[in-house]
Chain A
């Protein structure tokens, strides 16, 4: 892995972040809806509306607002929420831990389900287990989170009484939202692992390993799985980013105070600085996770490094 490659990746990441920020800034400003109207309501006086608009800098041209935002951003100032007056950075830091925790737990659940399921389906291709795994995967993908969430609550919270219905007051609160998010991801991953494993198990080196008398367990876990993991790791990286931003429904169902909820509420209220902050955080995480994924892929398969060189 040479230095030039890292520099190239760094600048491409900065460019991606800048493009996303610019695009979202202009998009949120041109859609109908005015934060001043939502904040003050219709009963406020015109002069008061103007005064508030001026104090928030919303009377300036959109280009000027964008330049001001960039200037503040370069000084590590993401601004304040138009509604709560809290610093955006504080708001983000308040919600990040919950979002990361949920995303990591969901990934853990997904891997826990998908890896054994994918391997069994590949090893016992065409068996009842394989068919059952197809059925499970189809169900996992088809059942939307707003159905899966309440269903899990009904079974595990109401009937069995094992976990809390919602919130994040207890450690066990994370299990149901992680299962809801993780099950859909597990469905996708298990199918990927299956097809990737099937391809790998056909390779010559697997046949050689069998001829050398290596146990089937060792062949699958230490020889086949490592090579089959490459596309899966890439997808996992992408999905982790999606989990950060796309857990809105699950967060709503389980009253999980994450970034997704914060962003949706801010979009509805046209709380521009908070929307920008959320988008920045999510895109930064996406870029970072992709970068890490690339490096992991190189670690798994050093040939990728040679190709990049």
Chain B
């Protein structure tokens, strides 16, 4: 009897549930062509270009703000808000052009706004992380409404390339406006709504199209959202096998373009084992990058031979890294005193990102085949980064994202750049490298600088403070009605300025 009573109640509940769910189905929003939604793996942290340091904040900020200059595909500096003249090695004049001259509040962008923005970054009280990159500025002088002079304390031929900070309106800087959450720039896209970190709504000024940036941390959920049609496109940060699977869907487009995210293995050169060049050479020749790229990364990467990709004007395009050669590896190991009887154990640190961890286990297996036992230790970003900065590692793997300026070599390999003074995390100290880097700093011709950098990259391949692995491709997965998205090498979102959903 109880069973009968309860089954009748259950059937009532089921009917109610179905009716209730139908109510929700009809309540669901219909797809909206006035909106383009993009799925992100992480939210922007800070949309104030004076303080933004993470890649997503930088990519979104580029849409909202405009800077004096930009870079072309070969990393040459090109005008954006302004053209420039080199009046002397320490004197640059920028003349504002016609484009992007109106801020989102309707006011006109002038040389005063440029000065206020740069003064604000240079003001030590504001603690901008970008102050160091423009520390050579001695004074900024307004010539007229459209013209501004930068005087430097020492010659810097790369100076125009440092003027990448988005320009803010002066009156809002003085009002201490919170640009991090309520950005006001002169870019083609302005902010509409950003209450929750997970949902940033932007508006394209040219056609009032809404651009929605939705943060979906779980890659599978990002894909499911795309398949359901809740979002229109995803750029990168998906497991390679998922990308391959999505490529078979007729209603989706998958595009790839070479990228400049440089992945490498770094060593602590103060460590008695990996400080030995023979051990580093053994490791370099034991890693089968071709197989990893082909089978694990679904050919979504290209082999790297240096920090800068081959298309960069200062890159040594002849370099492509080490060839996989286990015999050579074993010989290096033998020369280093590890002949198989003496076990060699190393600790490899990486982040807890599942894909990085998977790559670490593959490298672990490859090194095991030549007799190197690897213990993988993966940590959350804060701990991992802290350890790397403090030199608490033997070897680790990381990536450099969005490198554009060649003086990054000074910052990473000069002996004066050991943290906290730079990013020489491996404590690499080499007199010849220091000499080249000091020479290149004092060289005023960019062509001659390029020659120095090319030689330096060759030398670094021999001294091996890093093992270059690969440059990861940028991948776009979009619904087939999305037209006009062009992937860029540095993975920026600039195409959101003009794409359409037909």
Contacts and interface: CB of A to CB of B under 8 A. Distances in A.
Q: Do they bind each other? A: yes
A84 B215 CA distance: 17
Contact of B420 (A49, A164, A220, A257): A49
A51 interface: yes
A150 interface: yes
A163 B225 CA distance: 12
Contacts of A216: 1-2
B15 interface: no
B2 A255 contact: no
A165 interface: yes
Contacts of B125: 51
Interface in A12-51: 31-34, 37-49, 51
A44 B422 CA distance: 8
B230 A164 contact: yes
Given A165-B230, A268-B380, A255 B133 contact: no
B318 to A, nearest CB: 29
A298 interface: no
A128 to B, nearest CB: 12
B27 A170 contact: yes
A217 interface: yes
A208 interface: no
Interface stretch (A3-11, A67-75, A152-160, A230-238): A152-160
Interface string B410-435: 01000000011111000000000000
A158 B221 contact: no
Contacts of A44: 127, 129, 131-132
B24 A270 contact: no
B129 A162 contact: no
Given A45-B131, A164-B230, A255-B217, A170 B385 contact: no
Contacts of A164: 28, 230
B390 interface: yes
B421 A32 contact: no
A164 B383 CA distance: 36
A43 B400 CA distance: 13
Contacts of A158: 224, 227-228
A144 interface: no
B241 interface: no
Interface residues of B, number: 59
B392 A166 contact: no
* Main DSSP-derived SS at the A contact region: helix
B386 to A, nearest CB: 4
Given A116-B6, A158-B227, A217-B5, A253 B124 contact: no
Interface of B: 1-2, 5-6, 10, 21, 24-25, 27-29, 45-46, 53, 124-125, 127-133, 135, 178, 180-181, 196-199, 214-218, 220-221, 224-225, 227-228, 230, 380-383, 385-387, 389-390, 392, 411, 419-423
Interface of A: 31-34, 37-49, 51-52, 55, 83-85, 94, 116, 120, 123, 146, 149-150, 153-154, 157-158, 161-167, 170-172, 175, 216-217, 220, 252-255, 257, 267-270
20 contacts: A37-B389, A38-B385, A40-B53, A40-B129, A42-B411, A42-B423, A45-B135, A48-B127, A48-B132, A116-B6, A158-B228, A161-B25, A170-B28, A172-B28, A175-B21, A216-B2, A217-B1, A252-B217, A252-B218, A255-B217
